[in-house]
Structure 1
Amino acid sequence: MNPRAEPPGIAERLATTARALADIIVAHQRTLHRFPELAFEERRTSAWLADTLRGLGLEPHTGLAGTGLAVELPGAGPGPTVMLRADMDGLPVREEPSHEPRSEHEDRMHACGHDGHMAVALGAAEAVVRVAGEGGTLPGRLVVLFQPAEETGTGAARIVEEGVLDRLGVDYVLGLHLWSFAPRGQAIVPDGTVMASADEFRVAYSGRGGHGALPHEADDVVLALAHLVVALQALVSREVDPVRPAVLSVGRIEAGSAPNVLPTRGELEGTFRAPDTDVRGHLLHRVGELARSIAAAHGVEAEVSFGAGIPPTVNHPGPARLLRAAAAAVLGPDNVRDGPPTMAAEDFGLFLRERPGAFMLLGMRDEAAGVVAPHHHPDFRVAPGALAEGCEILLRAAVALMESRADGG
């Protein structure tokens, strides 16, 4: 007589339910894709998410950081509280006309996968509701946060400043980013840095304008800006250790209105990224110092300003180890890597400064399905098959964190 088989544990029950919800999760992503909204304008998105959660018998906390919302899931046990985070905002990108579904707004698009992230989080919520309804109990408590304004790097800061993590009693944080730069079925979960910091700067030069034929009677702000663009490139190539990555790019220059007029004012804007906080600090200091020095050399006035910026996204090794194990259970051990990090940025790093946790890049590049365009591109698409995978991985990792109380080290 065969021994009686042990019933599946809570992680396996959640995983099985997440897989069964695959079509529903895809349907959520397709619906959300139709009405992208920009940072802190996600009112329709927030209302739709709240209605969907209420349809599951849940009562979300709304109005977080303006348009965000959070929900506490049923079936809680005595262990720690884990928060799953999904970002909500779209981008000011005009979508490729052949897309189906397609954005209802001509100049806005979910071009970074946030519609997919929200769908994954909704799938996790529904999986927990179903399992709890069958008597399942989690080893701890699970909450889901839908966060506005990731693209501007300001949404997570607002959530932290408003004390949302404290009010929800969050002990650990988990998140993912659907990633078009890795093949479908692969995941990247480093022990340390996942994504770089992101800072933006603006430099404006002003001086005496004049006639293009008489430059000695004027101050040439265009020449000064040109020198600054060239000099800024040396900050990375000559002042940063070559084995410590960094990148600096100038994306906008504006000055003048006629070819024979030396303008009185010109300005440029750029960004720099660094996974290392010391390198970030060096660049913050040197961009301003260099801009003012070049202004003085050209006899013009300088105005230098920086955006709020976001820190690197740095995983805590304990939670990262559990998230890698969860990904390996879904994708296979050979398909989970611990690097390398990317120079793209994410404001999830602010949560990881407040609580231990981990963040995953979930590959979804699928040439056969036409999912090949990079993030922020008009032809960007989400691979439907990656959504249930992401949902299952996050649920498995959340249960493992509740069971282990992994520290940040």
Structure 2
Amino acid sequence: MTAATTRSGASPTAFVTLPDALNADVQEWYRWFHRHPELSYEEFGTTARIREILESHGVEILESGLRTGVVAIVRGASAKPVIALRGDIDGLPITENTGLDYASDNTGVMHGCGHDFNLTVALGAAILLNERRASLPGTVKIIFQPAEEGRATAERPTGSVQVLNTGVLDDVEAFFGTHDAAGPVGSILIREGGITGAVDKFQVAIHGKGAHAAEPEDGIDPITVLTNVVQGLQAVIGRNLDPCHPRVLSVTHIEAGNSWNVIPQDAFFEGTVRTTEPQDRVLAKKRAIAIINNTAAAYGATADVSWFFGSPSVFNDAGWTRIGREVIAEQGLHADDDHPQLGGEDFSYYLDRKPGLFVHIGAGETGAAHGPTFRPNPAAIGYGIRFLTAIAQKALNELR
């Protein structure tokens, strides 16, 4: 059952409170995770600490085969439906400069994107849901996912793909995730449709004919071809795609020649395209390749184009977005409209599998993400826990 067929007019979700004792524990856990960041697929200490906390609260852990990361389960009064919640756990190769008394103890590594925040939200929700399991009309799996930040390759996929590949989530009907963001504490930033960029990469080799720089008529200058292609590619963004949709095409690396008086035979460039709408992603590739090949042919050159589809856009289902807004209102939280941004987020792979919702938790003036001074306000963690717990309960009731 997808969100499009969930029941309308369902009873409001009971108000979720965070007990003072649990809130104190949550703050302590967050500080520990912030002090002990670990890079993608190296989150061994983080994984051990998550397991320790879950086991101390009686939360069952599934055998997933993951080297790092954890998948926990809360079994309610019935086996189905099954939903999943996700918090990512890895840090970044950044030297922290926040001045916090709980700053990173791991030199050169910090939680510069707030995954310590996200995993703590998921921990709190897992514990609250486990305490309420007798009243849950279904099953909740909680994913503590490794390697959201890691550079993905075929041999070393991004963390969400690795978790999905274990098969432990094959029965999940809807996915829900949160991430900290700049915004008022107590606010939930929510939006239907695409909210992050699909991450696509292109590499282009232009093949011309080398010649002496003083005798260009004897050659085919690949640099001239390259510069015209680079300019022409901006027509994809400005003239081919819907101007109301977020999108960008950036050429980020160019190489050609090795001497001041020689026209080289070949030139190379690469870059990225980011789109939020699936149809724009397909059209951008089609038009870009046509411009590259036709421009090269116009100069008598040829081009070899390699196009790599990375993570898709996080695309929030309309029905689950509506339900998310209901939960925000029922919990006395404040809904703000989220703004699409074109960075990548591998939660998208879960939503490629099944529909769901990804929201941002307002965490104050955080500073620039992926920067050395990034510091979300930990007072916002409780609001994230309340939202994630409440939407899990509501989702189970909607799907049963």
Same fold (TM over 0.5): yes
Deviations 1:63-105 (CA, angstroms, capped at 9, x unpaired): 5565332011255445522211112233333433635433344
> Relative to structure 1, is the Cα distance of residues 31 and 200 closer, same or farther in structure 2, using a 3 angstrom cutoff?
farther
Q: Which residue of 2 aligns with 1:175?
A: 177
Q: Which residue of 1 aligns with 2:370?
A: 376
CA–CA distance in 2 between the matches of 1:69 and 1:221? Answer: 51
Q: How many residues align?
A: 383
CA–CA distance in 2 between the matches of 1:218 and 1:35? Answer: 58
SS at match of 1:345: coil
Q: Which residue of 2 aligns with 1:6?
A: none
Q: Which residue of 2 aligns with 1:346?
A: 345
Gaps (5+ residues) in structure 2? 1-11, 153-157
CA contact (8 A) 1:75 1:137 kept: yes
> Relative to structure 1, is the Cα distance of residues 65 and 247 closer, same or farther in structure 2, using a 3 angstrom cutoff?
farther
CA–CA distance in 1 between the matches of 2:69 and 2:381? Answer: 21
1:140 and 2:161 are equivalent in the alignment: no
CA contact (8 A) 1:117 1:176 kept: yes
Q: Indicate which of 390, 393, 399 corresponds to 1:396.
A: 390
> Relative to structure 1, is the Cα distance of residues 251 and 22 closer, same or farther in structure 2, using a 3 angstrom cutoff?
farther
CA–CA distance in 1 between the matches of 2:20 and 2:268? Answer: 52
CA–CA distance in 2 between the matches of 1:287 and 1:302? Answer: 12
- For 1:240, the aligned partner's letter is L
CA–CA distance in 2 between the matches of 1:280 and 1:170? Answer: 27
> Relative to structure 1, is the Cα distance of residues 178 and 212 closer, same or farther in structure 2, using a 3 angstrom cutoff?
farther
CA contact (8 A) 1:24 1:123 kept: no
- For 1:179, the aligned partner's letter is A
CA–CA distance in 1 between the matches of 2:274 and 2:386? Answer: 32
SS at match of 1:126: helix
Instruction: Write the mapping of 1:144-159 to structure 2, written as runs, cut at 5 A.
Output: 144-151=142-149, 152=151, 154-159=158-163
Which range moves more in the overlay, 246-255 or 208-217?
208-217
SS at match of 1:195: coil
1:365 and 2:369 are equivalent in the alignment: no
> Relative to structure 1, is the Cα distance of residues 401 and 131 closer, same or farther in structure 2, using a 3 angstrom cutoff?
closer
CA–CA distance in 1 between the matches of 2:198 and 2:175? Answer: 19
CA–CA distance in 2 between the matches of 1:222 and 1:94? Answer: 39
- For 2:140, the aligned partner's letter is L
**Shift in Å, 1:348:** 1.9
> Relative to structure 1, is the Cα distance of residues 65 and 275 closer, same or farther in structure 2, using a 3 angstrom cutoff?
farther
Normalising by structure 2, report the TM-score.
0.83
CA–CA distance in 2 between the matches of 1:41 and 1:215? Answer: 53
CA contact (8 A) 2:13 2:330 kept: no
SS at match of 1:312: coil
CA–CA distance in 2 between the matches of 1:204 and 1:360? Answer: 40
Q: Which residue of 2 aligns with 1:236?
A: 237
Q: Indicate which of 144, 164, 167 corresponds to 1:160.
A: 164
SS at match of 1:237: helix
Q: Which residue of 2 aligns with 1:4?
A: none
Deviations 1:138-162 (CA, angstroms, capped at 9, x unpaired): 2322210122232346332333344
SS at match of 1:51: helix
**Shift in Å, 1:214:** 5.7
CA contact (8 A) 1:87 1:114 kept: yes
SS at match of 1:360: strand
> Relative to structure 1, is the Cα distance of residues 144 and 227 closer, same or farther in structure 2, using a 3 angstrom cutoff?
same
SS at match of 2:357: strand
**Shift in Å, 1:282:** 0.5
- For 2:393, the aligned partner's letter is V
**Shift in Å, 1:117:** 0.8
1:386 and 2:388 are equivalent in the alignment: no
CA–CA distance in 2 between the matches of 1:18 and 1:227? Answer: 62
Deviations 1:91-141 (CA, angstroms, capped at 9, x unpaired): 333433635433344443322221211111111122234455xxx532322
Instruction: Write the mapping of 1:44-123 to structure 2, written as runs, cut at 5 A.
Output: 44-61=45-62, 64=65, 66-73=67-74, 75-77=76-78, 79-96=80-97, 98-123=99-124
Q: Which residue of 1 aligns with 2:28?
A: 27
Q: Which residue of 1 aligns with 2:355?
A: 356
> Relative to structure 1, is the Cα distance of residues 219 and 380 closer, same or farther in structure 2, using a 3 angstrom cutoff?
farther
CA contact (8 A) 1:326 1:394 kept: no
> Relative to structure 1, is the Cα distance of residues 242 and 356 closer, same or farther in structure 2, using a 3 angstrom cutoff?
closer
CA contact (8 A) 2:250 2:273 kept: yes
Q: Which residue of 1 aligns with 2:303?
A: 302
CA–CA distance in 1 between the matches of 2:328 and 2:368? Answer: 23
- For 1:391, the aligned partner's letter is I
CA–CA distance in 2 between the matches of 1:295 and 1:394? Answer: 52
**Shift in Å, 1:264:** 5.5
> Relative to structure 1, is the Cα distance of residues 376 and 263 closer, same or farther in structure 2, using a 3 angstrom cutoff?
farther
Which range moves more in the overlay, 227-236 or 260-269?
260-269
Deviations 1:32-65 (CA, angstroms, capped at 9, x unpaired): 2334334334333333322332333344235556
- For 1:25, the aligned partner's letter is V
Across the aligned residues of Structure 1 and Structure 2, the Cα RMSD in angstroms comes to 3.1
- For 1:145, the aligned partner's letter is I
CA–CA distance in 2 between the matches of 1:207 and 1:34? Answer: 54
Gaps (5+ residues) in structure 1? 1-8
SS at match of 2:109: coil
Identity rate of aligned residues, in percent? 35
> Relative to structure 1, is the Cα distance of residues 38 and 298 closer, same or farther in structure 2, using a 3 angstrom cutoff?
farther
**Shift in Å, 1:183:** 3.0
CA contact (8 A) 1:21 1:388 kept: no
Q: Which residue of 2 aligns with 1:224?
A: 225
**Shift in Å, 1:339:** 4.7
SS at match of 1:21: helix
> Relative to structure 1, is the Cα distance of residues 255 and 55 closer, same or farther in structure 2, using a 3 angstrom cutoff?
farther
